[in-house]
Chain A
Amino acid sequence: NAGVTQTPKFRILKIGQSMTLQCTQDMNHNYMYWYRQDPGMGLKLIYYSVGAGITDKGEVPNGYNVSRSTTEDFPLRLELAAPSQTSVYFCASSYSRGPLTSGELFFGEGSRLTVL
Chain B
Amino acid sequence: QQQVKQSPQSLIVQKGGISIINCAYENTAFDYFPWYQQFPGKGPALLIAIRPDVSEKKEGRFTISFNKSAKQFSLHIMDSQPGDSATYFCAAGGGSSRLTFGEGTQLTVNP
Contacts and interface: CB of A to CB of B under 8 A. Distances in A.
Tell me if chain B binds chain A: yes
Interface of A: 4, 40-45, 48, 58, 90, 92, 97-99, 102-105, 107-110
A102 to B, nearest CB: 7
A109 B46 contact: no
B43 A90 contact: yes
A98 B43 contact: no
Contact of B94 (A4, A40, A41, A99): A99
Interface stretch (B13-21, B58-66, B73-81, B98-106): B98-106
A109 B102 contact: no
- Which residue among B42, B45, B101 has the maximum number of chain A CB atoms within 10 Å of its CB? B101
B49 interface: yes
B102 A42 contact: yes
A35 to B, nearest CB: 8
A109 B43 contact: yes
**SS class, residues of chain B in contact with chain A:** strand
B92 to A, nearest CB: 11
**SS class, residues of chain A in contact with chain B:** loop
Contacts of A99: 31-32, 94-95
6 contacts: A43-B89, A98-B95, A104-B46, A105-B36, A107-B43, A107-B44
Contact of A40 (B9, B36, B98): B9
Contact of A103 (B42, B93, B103): B93
Contacts of A48: 98
Nearest to A39: B104
Interface string B53-72: 00000000000000000000
Given A42-B6, A90-B43, A104 B104 contact: no
A101 to B, nearest CB: 9
B41 interface: yes
Nearest to B46: A104
